[in-house]
């Protein structure tokens, strides 16, 4: 079946100004440069966007600014991280009105429940959205990062019960993602995250694409295009070029927020990074490593 959503969807970092507020100009420039770098879509409000630090108004600002800069050229995926099913459904509808093409549901902020209860929660959101909208929904299946994940059987059961649940953003190895793709049997469009780690193998495993942060998403978009064109040797060579940066940044969420964001800022000409607490403080050695990776990649296309 044709998949309307595919490719590399960089998920935006949150850039803040000296006044502590979101830096609208930096956020909009980030969108423009991701597009110039060949992104097939964009994503916002996930872990990279530090969604837990944003107010409800700021979340909607990020969606609106992104949609305005995209201007319909590529799809926009919006992560929804709300405490109740009612609030999650409301945010999905707000995001769609602001320009979202599809939404990615995070689980409720309660850990340790039986899997059936998480399936039911996602299903409740899906049902409430379906009464008013046909926007496609996905779930973020990221047990390693947010403490909750469904089994492949749980994901498939959710999709079988709710036709508007058509996507998954996984955070797993290529081997585990391939199991999910196989279990879904074509019912779900599967993206993977993990900063684009194992990108060529994830595509071989059946992923529609990846949702990494932007630091090297221009190269990852080129890798995707090369793989789809059948030039696997060139794609693998490009992947080897960025693998050290991915390994450096993917030592945990705090690491990629600290150093990946700075690599992105340097490559995009966004100035020095201002953090909103709590945040990991960079070390001189860490900055030296990050700067070396940024310089090796050079400026973003269009920067």
Provide DSSP, 215-241.
Answer: GGHHHHHHHHHHHHHT-HHHHHHHHHH
Q: What are the CA-CA distances from residue 227 to residues 6, 191, 231 (Å)?
A: 13, 16, 6
Q: Which residues contact 6 (CB under 8 A, 6 or more apart)?
A: 40, 189, 208, 209
Write the CA distances from 131 to 125, 139, 168, 216, integer angstroms.
10, 19, 21, 39
pLDDT tens digits for range 118-141: 999 999 999 999 999 999 999 999
CATH 3.40.50.720 fits 7-233, yes or no: no
pLDDT number for residue 3: 65
Instruction: Tell me how far apart the alpha carbons of residues 284 and 296 are, in angstroms, rounded to a whole number.
Output: 18
Q: Are the C-beta atoms of residues 206 and 213 closer than 8 Å to each other?
A: no
Nearest-angstrom CA–CA distance, 202 and 256: 20
Q: What is the mean pLDDT of the chain?
A: 96
2 has a pLDDT exceeding 80: no
Bridge partner residues of 42 (DSSP): 76
Give the tokens for residue 172. 């797993």
Those residues with Cβ within 8 angstroms of residue 266's Cβ, 6 or more apart along the chain or in another chain: 290, 291, 294
Angle between helices 152-161 and 115-130 (to 10 degrees): 30
For 217-237, letters b (16+ CB in 10 Å) and e give bbbbbbbbbbbeeeeeeebee
**Coil/strand/helix, residue 210:** strand
pLDDT for the residue numbered 259: 98
Which residue bears the tokens 């097939």?
40
| Contact indicator for 15, 260 with CB cutoff of 8 Å | no
CA 281 to chain centre: 23
Tell me 79's DSSP state.
E
Q: pLDDT grade, residue 302 (50/70/90)?
A: very high
152-167: average pLDDT: 96
Domain ranges of the chain: 7-233
Using one digit for the tens of pLDDT, what is the confidence trace for 36-87? 999 999 999 999 999 999 999 999 999 999 999 999 999 999 999 999 999 9
Taken in order 82, 74, 17, 213, the sign of the CA dihedral is positive
Terminal CA-to-CA distance of the chain, rounded, Å? 37
Distance CA 211, CA 17 (A): 25
pLDDT tens track for 225-272: 999 999 999 999 999 999 999 999 989 899 999 999 999 999 999 999
User: Average pLDDT, stretch 92-105?
Assistant: 98
Tell me the pLDDT band of 1, cut-offs 50, 70 and 90: very low
Phi then psi for residue 36, to 5 deg, are -65, -30
């Amino acid at each position: 079946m044709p998949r309307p959503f595919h490719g590399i969807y960089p998920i935006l970092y949150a850039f803040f100004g000296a006044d502590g507020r979101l830096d609208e100009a930096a956020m909009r420039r980030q969108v423009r440069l991701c597009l110039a770098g060949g992104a097939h879509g964009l994503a916002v409000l996930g872990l990279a966007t530090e969604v837990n630090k944003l107010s409800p108004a700021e979340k909607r600002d990020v969606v609106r600014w992104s949609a305005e800069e995209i201007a319909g050229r590529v799809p926009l995926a919006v992560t929804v991280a709300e405490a109740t099913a009612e609030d999650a459904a409301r945010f999905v509808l707000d995001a769609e009105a602001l320009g979202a093409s599809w939404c990615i549901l995070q689980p409720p902020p309660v850990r340790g429940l039986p899997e059936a209860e998480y399936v039911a929660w996602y299903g409740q959101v899906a049902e409430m959205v379906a009464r008013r909208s046909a926007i496609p929904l996905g779930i973020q299946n990221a047990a390693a990062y947010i403490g909750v994940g469904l089994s492949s059987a749980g994901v498939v059961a959710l999709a079988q019960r709710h036709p508007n649940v058509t996507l998954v953003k996984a955070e797993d190895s290529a081997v585990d993602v391939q199991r999910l793709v196989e279990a879904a049997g074509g019912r779900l469009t599967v993206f993977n995250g993990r900063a684009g780690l194992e990108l060529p193998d994830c595509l071989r495993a059946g992923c529609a694409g990846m949702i990494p942060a932007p630091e090297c998403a221009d190269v990852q978009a080129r890798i995707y295009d090369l793989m789809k064109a059948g030039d696997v040797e060139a794609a693998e060579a490009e992947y080897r070029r960025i693998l050290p940066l991915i390994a450096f940044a993917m030592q945990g969420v705090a690491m990629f927020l600290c150093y990946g964001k700075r690599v992105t800022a340097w490559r995009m000409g966004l100035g020095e990074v201002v953090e909103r607490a709590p945040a990991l403080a960079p070390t001189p050695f860490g900055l030296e490593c990050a700067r070396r990776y940024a310089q090796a990649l050079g400026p973003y296309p269009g920067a």
